[in-house]
Amino acid sequence: MNKMIGIRHEDKYVMERRVAITPDHARKLIRDKGLEILVESSAKRIFSDQEFENAGAGIVEDLTPAPVIFGVKEMPIDFFEEEKTYIFFSHVIKGQPYNMPMLRKMMEKKVNLIEYEKIANDSGQRLIFFGRYAGLAGMINSLWSLGQRLKVQGIETPFLRIEQAHTYNSLEEAKQIISEVGTEIAENGLPGDLTPLTIGFTGYGNVSNGAQEIAALLPIKEISPDELPALSKRSNLPSNVLYKIVFKEWHLSAHKDPETDFNLEEYYAYPENFRSVFEQYIPHLTLLMNCMYWDNRYPRIVTKDYLEKLFTGEKPKLSVIGDVTCDPDGSIECTHKGTEIEDPVFVYDPATRQPSMGFMGNGVLVMAVDILPSELPRESSEAFSKALFKFVPAIATANYSVDFETLDLPSPVKRAMILHRGKLTPDYQYISEYL
């Protein structure tokens, strides 16, 4: 029975500082579960080598001795070793073309792959996720982006006090600053040209709730999507109130058959039967927070064609899109790529259909950082590790040499196994068409 696991240094992004298992949980796994933990040395990880060493882990330059390795983001194609077990966010379940070479290499090496994103209970609810922290950091960044974008356009606002999420020492520090900005808006209001300032949120899961948690620090009032179009026509609205709108599936899409009502079960089972109707709301939004799962079976939320129409003629209300979902060429079609923490925003020009990095330019500003939880690396790692902790001993000690049917793993983890000994497991056979 294996008792050794490895914790990998993250190297996909310069500012990826998260870790799947924290020193506190490593200590408990060593002390209470008898595991041996090797930690790949890292100068940038939010938890230092010394913290792991103090917890009883071994600090190493090479994880070769460990048969089971925990990471966060994708691993280099030459990192995988024969018949080992890897647990990380592989980003292959949608058949993402940029990760198919990695998956093929893992298959060649006959490894086992467990995908965090698919560790879920019997109802399909995810059990291990960074989603709330993506929403928290995404909202902080988007408010910062809004302040900077408006400044470029000659409008000074209290949002200029907000910085990018990773610059704060803690989430609490960020929240304190945003609360102070909220107080300033409540007392002094915003420039009249911005009234009503509206923030739309797609989705209502962990990501959206994290974003709304930050927005709630401002003097904000929730209205329904149905109330939004009329809001812009109202005069004498108070300048010290912001408006929040949460959009659900039936606000985004309608059945292609106009005689058929929206049905949520059908929407998820047969998304090709639906068309986007979200364009009716876009002209009334100042800031759009995209926090909803999407894949290419579903209608897009914002298309390039629509943005071209929106930005023809009078300057539209829409200033910033915080694309927390961050699917390249996806639900927000103009998100051509995920951005990096050190270069987080671009302005998309609908006329030329070209992006330019930074805050300057004609069009709409898009914040699309691909690793938002790493802007709050300590808090997000602690929450993630806490959720993962109870599954680690079973993952470490499982006998992966047996047939998949008899492999003894907790059912949420077994359902998340994409590869067993290099072969796609039954639930993931569909990925073969992308290979």
pLDDT tens, per residue, the chain with 435 residues: 899 999 999 999 999 999 999 999 999 999 999 999 999 999 999 999 999 999 999 999 999 999 999 999 999 999 999 999 999 999 999 999 999 999 999 999 999 999 999 999 998 899 998 999 999 999 999 999 999 999 999 999 999 999 999 999 999 999 999 999 999 999 999 998 899 999 999 999 999 999 999 999 999 999 999 999 999 888 789 999 999 999 999 999 999 999 999 999 999 999 999 999 999 999 999 999 999 999 889 999 999 999 999 999 888 999 999 999 999 999 999 999 999 999 999 999 999 999 999 999 999 999 999 999 999 999 999 999 999 999 999 999 999 999 999 999 999 999 999 999 999 999 999 999 999
How far apart are the C-alpha atoms of 94 and 295, rounded to whole Å?
A: 7
* pLDDT at residue number 175: 98
In angstroms, what CA-CA distances link 265 with 125, 268, 271? 16, 5, 10
Structure tokens of 256? 């292609």
* pLDDT at residue number 283: 96
Side-chain-side CA neighbours of 269 within 13 Å: the count stands at 5
Measured torsion, CA atoms of residues 12, 142, 252, 317, in degrees rounded to the nearest 10: -140
pTM assigned to the model: 0.90
CATH class of 131-375: alpha beta
Residue 29 DSSP symbol: H
**Short-list 271, 273, 214, 211, CA closest to 247:** 211
* pLDDT at residue number 236: 84
Is the separation of the CB atoms in 26 and 52 below 8 Å? yes
What is the maximal distance between C-alpha atoms in the chain? 71
Residue-range domain boundaries for the chain: 4-129+380-434, 131-375
In the CATH scheme, what is the homologous superfamily, with its name and number, of domain 4-129+380-434? NAD(P)-binding Rossmann-like Domain (3.40.50.720)
Q: Write the DSSP string, 341-377.
A: TTB-EEEEETTTTEEEESS-SSSEEEE-BTTGGGGSH
Is the separation of the CB atoms in 351 and 396 below 8 Å? no
Structure tokens of 8? 């990998």
Beta bridge partners of 420: 423
- The 3-class secondary structure across 297-339, one letter per residue, is CCCCCECHHHHHHHCCCCCCCCCEEEECCCCCCCCECCCCCCE
Amino acid identity of residue 133, one-letter, is Y
Same fold, 4-129+380-434 and 131-375: yes
